[in-house]
Structure 1
Amino acid sequence: MENLPKKVRSKKLNTRVDLTAMVSVSFLLIIFFMVVGELSKPKIMDLSLPHNDDGRISCGPMREGENRSITVILDKNNRLIYYMGLLDSPIIAPKEIQYGKEGIRKELLSRKQNILGYSSRNLKPENIIVIIKPSKKSNFKNLVDILDEMAIAKIETYAIVPEFTPEEYKLLALK
């Protein structure tokens, strides 16, 4: 009995599963689906349409925008040309004006005050729209100067538009 082989007992291994990676993957999936769900929601923008006196929405040929829009064209050599309305039938014909307190600022402030006279509805004077069109020959200082004038005159609605119409190109070539 001495030579009998000893019975070898197998060592029992711990059968624990590490779930750390599974938790990480599940959190990543949750975040992914939350972001996809948020991005797939339709985005809605309020659209302000003109109302008639009886409160109904009117989409007729109203031309309120030209009554309160001023276009400012910046050109080379500190030239500044402005007009009000549409260029083919302007409310104020295009004219050259200077920068500063006695130039464009005075004009913007007076137009802001007179906007109620041009409007068929009761618009606030803050509803003036200025379209700034810098030409390729204008310099950056002129653009900064006109943006400063917008801030000084407290005009909140303005746009910088680099495109010119053919009529505006003719206007720049004339003067």
Structure 2
Amino acid sequence: MAEIQQQAAGGKPGKRRAKQLSTRIDMTPMVDLAFLLLTFFMLTTTFARPYTMELNMPVRPKIEGPTKVRESQAMTIVLGAGHRVYYFAGLNAPGPAAARPELHATTFAADGIRQAIRERQRRTAGLVVLIKPTAESKYQDMVNMLDEMNISRQPKYALVKITQEDLNLLKNN
């Protein structure tokens, strides 16, 4: 704790002076208390939990092969460079006889792709969204798109490899 050390007062014999007392404070108990508090708060605090995204994967079908999607129920979303999102109704079927779909460009803003998905959900029962990332798209774009599927409550969507027809459609527009 605190300790008082006395010094002998030297001086003239007839005059009394007040004694000069020196104090020394022992800091050991305060350091012990600081370490106890530090240990207590380190052990009782919860650390930041990582954010996770839950993906429900379908059961692998017994019959191998692509799943057929009707063109009237499909909506294709292409993730492009620069955080751009392109979408069109239906499928981009290969072949010269197939009509080219009308390609729309938008962003991840609330009035962008989310509004387009909700509009398509109102018009089409059993909508299936096909998400096709390009080589120039970023991983964050894919995460944003999966978030948009959860926000718009779209139950059926699939991550699909982009085809050459889709790339040609992007180049032509």
TM-score relative to the length of structure 2: 0.54
1:150 and 1:137 mapped to 2: Cα distance?
21
Shift in Å at residue 112 of structure 1?
0.2
Q: Would you tell me which structure has more helix in proportion to its own residues?
A: 1
1:89 and 2:99 are equivalent in the alignment: yes
Structure 2 residues without counterparts, runs of 5 or longer: 1-59, 93-97
CA distance in 1, matches of 2:61, 2:81: 41
Report the number of matched residues.
105
2:85 is aligned with 1:80: yes
C-alpha RMSD of the superposition? 2.4
- For residue 19 of structure 2, what is the aligned residue in structure 1? none
Trace 1:136-147 onto structure 2 (pairs within 5 A).
Answer: 136-147=135-146
Q: CA 1:170/1:64 → structure 2, altered by over 3 Å: closer, same or farther?
A: closer
Partner of 2:160: 161
Note the alpha carbon deviations across 1:4-58, whole angstroms, 9 max, x for none: xxxxxxxxxxxxxxxxxxxxxxxxxxxxxxxxxxxxxxx9869xxxxxxxxxxxx
Alignment CA distance shift 1:44-1:147 (3 Å): closer
* Identity %, equivalent residues: 28
Q: How does 1:71-150 map to 2 (within 5 A)?
A: 71-87=76-92, 88-89=98-99, 93-115=102-124, 125=125, 127-150=126-149
Q: Could you list the runs of 4 or more consecutive aligned residues of structure 1 that deviate by over 3 angstroms after TM superposition?
A: 43-46
| Distance 1:75-1:150 versus aligned 2 partners, 3 A rule | same
- Taking the aligned partners of 2:150 and 2:103, their CA distance within structure 1 comes to 23
Larger radius of gyration: 2
* TM-score (norm: length of structure 1): 0.54
With over 3 angstroms needed to count, the CA separation of the structure-2 counterparts of 1:128 and 1:75, relative to structure 1, is: same
Q: Per-residue displacement from partner, 1:56-97 (whole Å, max 9, x unpaired)?
A: xxxxxxx9711110000001111111011122436x611111
Whole-angstrom CA distance in 2 between matches of 1:153 and 1:140: 20
